[in-house]
Amino acid sequence: MLAPPERYYEGELLDRACSDCQSFARSHGYHLSRAPGSDKGKGRIYLQCHRAGEHETRGTVRNSQSNRIGCPFRIRIRYFKNENKTRVIHEYTQHNHEASVDAYTAQIYHYCSPQEREFIRHRRCMGDQPRQALDNLMRRFPNTQLQYHDIRNEFSAAHVEETRLYGAPR
């Protein structure tokens, strides 16, 4: 699997560099998430493969599965004040696993069309819980690729938007 290209961005563009790297990764069958130690305020973001780290058992030991297999893939994004440039730097570009999804599936993975988004928000206004909204969405759009956590994320985004527009509920 290819790593996002090392490149420069003019100015302090940490978020843009991060989203470009994550989009590149999705289109190549893996996902990147922010790693511990990232501090945008100090001009650094570390991205790691979503399969980095080890499965951590908490509480009662059960036979649960985890995608974490200790993948060493890691990228660093730094803002250099003296140059006024943001740079994507490869730290370790090898994965210890195959691609999670093929390139075509990665393009449609978790994609929410405007019609689906409108329907989800309508169901939220009608008082549905995320699980009920997903059931209704599956009936209305049988070919949707969205899952429960996508619906929850859309509910959260709608809540944030409403809070920004109308203020916090009292």
- Integer Cα distance of 86 and 55 in angstroms: 33
Place of tokens 């420069």: 8
Helix (H, G, I), strand (E, B) or coil at 108: helix
Please count the residues of the chain: 170
What CA dihedral angle connects 38, 9, 93 and 51, to 10 degrees? 40
Place of tokens 């920004």: 164
- Integer Cα distance of 142 and 101 in angstroms: 21
pLDDT digits (tens, 9 = 90+) for 110-156: 677 889 989 999 999 999 999 999 999 999 998 887 888 889 888 98
Helix (H, G, I), strand (E, B) or coil at 150: helix
Place of tokens 């998430």: 33
Whether pLDDT at 8 is above 70: yes
Neighbours of 3 (CB within 10 A): 21
The mean-pLDDT minimum among 5-14, 71-80, 101-110 falls in 101-110
Q: Which residues of 67-90 are buried (b: 16+ CB within 10 A; e: fewer)?
A: eeeebebbbbbbbeeeeebbebee
Predicted pLDDT at 109 = 57
Work out the average pLDDT over 98-114. 64
pTM greater than 0.75: no
Give 160's pLDDT tier (boundaries 50, 70, 90).
confident
